[in-house]
Amino acid sequence: MLGDYTGIGPEQCARVLADKRLSDAARLVVVGDGRVLAQGQRDAGVRFDWRSYDGPEAVDWTIDDVPIIDLGNLDPSQGFPRGVMSPASGRIAGETLAVMVEMALAHRIDGIVFGPLNKAALHAGGWKYNDEHQMFAYLTGHKGF
């Protein structure tokens, strides 16, 4: 997940994906919006090919393109100023994390990694947890947190 769109997450994630050093250790699948990934590439000044898939099971690991499950849930051209907290961006970040948790619980992915989040944006967007750890505990039904 690319993190909160209005922050540095998409740029940082694009740099990591372009670097490819992790490709020997993990099969990374981006979950988010392809337009945000493209913006992250532009911000980072990096280029790599990526390909959309309907789900992680459909990824063709024989090709070198970065796989993305494109949720199509955030259009950067629709008023998301960078560097400004956005309740809508926070809501979408939370929804994207929830999709990833569902995928993990269904054993469709093995783990979750995400770019920087904005806790104020998550709260303003309706996710009323102190942090992503409490959110994950709730979404997974974990009671010992």
As a whole number of angstroms, the distance between CA 101 and CA 138 comes to: 10
E runs forming strands in 23-100: 30-32, 50-52, 66-70
| pLDDT for residue 25 | 87
58-82 tens-digit pLDDT: 999 999 999 999 999 988 888 888 8
Domain count of the fold of the chain: 1
Q: Give a yes or no: residue 2 inside a domain.
A: no
Tokens found for residue 62? 């024989």
Q: Could you tell me if residue 86 is inside a domain? A: yes
- Domain carrying residue 84: 9-140
Q: What is the pTM of this model?
A: 0.91
Residue 39 placed within a domain = yes
Q: Where in 1-145 does DSSP place strands (E)?
A: 30-32, 50-52, 66-70
Residue stretches of the chain with pLDDT short of 50: none
Stated as kind and residue range, the H or E segment containing 132 is helix 132-140
User: Is 4 inside a domain boundary?
Assistant: no
| CATH number of the domain bearing residue 70 | 3.40.718.10
Residue 145 lies in a domain: no
Residue 79: predicted pLDDT: 82
Report how far residue 128's alpha carbon sits from residue 125's, in angstroms, rounded to the nearest whole number. Answer: 9
Rounded CA-CA distance 131/122 in Å is 9
pLDDT of residue 24: 81
